[in-house]
Each structure stands twice: as C-alpha cells, then as structure tokens.
Amino acid sequence: MTQTVHRTDKDLQTNVFDELLYTPNLDAAHIDVAVKDGVVTLSGDVATLPERLAVKRATMRMWGVKTVADKMTVRTSGTNAIDDTDIARTAKQLLDWAIDVPSDTVKADVHEHTITLSGNVTWDYQRDAAVRAVTYIKGVTSIKNTITLSQGPSVTIVKAAIEKAIQRNAQLHNQTINVDVDGHQLTLRGSVRSHADRREAAQAAWAAAGVTSVKNDLLITS
C-alpha cells in the first residue's frame, strides 16, 4: 500500500495525534500536541511514567518529526498513599535483581516520587537497564539518570567497527553518517531521514566498546 508523506506542521500534528489514539496503551484525552517547523511539543498530563515514555516513543515514530519537546507531567492523584520510603525500598530490590545492572554499582534516591539514579557502570546498556528496572514502580512520576560511564585507559574505541555496524544496519544503510573519535567520546555527523534513524545511529555508537559519551549532531532531512 502506498502512503503519501505529508510534511506540513498541520499534517504532522494530525499524524502524531492519530498515532497516539491508535496506540493501545495510551490515553490521549489529556495530551496536547503542537508542531512548529517539525519540532513536536507534547504537553498535558498522563496517568503514569511508562505512559509518558510511550507517548514520546509513539511521537518519534512519525515521519517528519525533527525533535520532541516533552512538557508533559505525570498525575499525582492516587499516589499519595505510596511514600518515598516505599518507592526507595522497591527500587533497591529491583536494582539488586536486575541481571544487566552490576551488583552494588547503582544507587536510587527518592524525593517527592522522583527517583535519582547515581553510580558508575561500564556500558550504556547497563545504565539503560537501571532505568528500566525502576520505571514501572507504582507512584514514580519521573526518573533522573545521573549514572556515569567509565573505561580503563587501556580500552580504545575502534572507529572502523562502529562504521561497519552502521553500514550493515538495514535502517541506516546508504545514509550519510560520519564518526569522529576523541578518546572515549564519539561524535556523529551527517544526515539521516528520520528521528528514528537518528536514534538508531546513536544506539549503534553506544554499543561500541570503550564509549563513554556520544554527541549526536546528525541532521534530519525529511
């Protein structure tokens, strides 16, 4: 089936809202969508933190989205019975149980239903795993991720390996992506077709051994 790609802000606004209505685990009734020059601003409120994240993912799937500004809030009604101590205790247990989070590397502090994660790990996927472990705790309204990455001086980034990973990725194949390496830091430059492609390139970069920072300067051309 052939679908016409609409690029105007009005059409993009309609497409985003239609996608939110189409996504089964979302309630779009309290979400407002504004678009200017391809930049989508989401405002309003949602029932849970996972729903807030799902709204952003659904929006970033849309063709023509340059970036997303998240101004949504998580409703606190019904969470008053859950105090910060309960959340902190549950977060610690889930982090201890998470197989992708090294033992005793990540700490969770809780204040007014917001979890702040701190600590130090080696890989970005471990940092992401820590966030996933505590995202679905009832009563959590937001997560601040301050976990840092560190690598030993003997670990070096292989630029060619990252470039090959990007080239063999079906979503990124034949797109203009350049990789610059400075110590343990990467910078991605060039252009891609969509926000989803931009994120995919960043994930490919984060997967490389030795990476502690990725600066994503890729431009979206759609």
Q: Residue 159 contacts by C-beta under 8 Å, 6 or more apart in sequence?
A: 179, 181
DSSP 29: G
Average pLDDT, the chain: 91
Q: Residue 95 contacts by C-beta under 8 Å, 6 or more apart in sequence?
A: 101, 106, 108, 130, 133, 134
Q: Does domain 9-74 have CATH number 3.40.50.2000?
A: no
**pLDDT 10s digits, 178-202:** 999 998 999 999 999 988 899 999 9
List the chain domain ranges: 9-74, 84-149, 159-220
Q: Does 9-74 match 84-149 in CATH topology?
A: yes
CATH code of the domain occupying 159-220: 3.30.1340
Tokens, residue 185: 């830091």
**pLDDT 10s digits, 86-120:** 999 999 999 999 999 999 999 999 999 999 999 99
DSSP 116: E
Q: Does domain 84-149 have CATH number 3.30.1340.30?
A: yes
State pTM to two decimals: 0.85
Amino acid identity for residue 169 in this structure = N
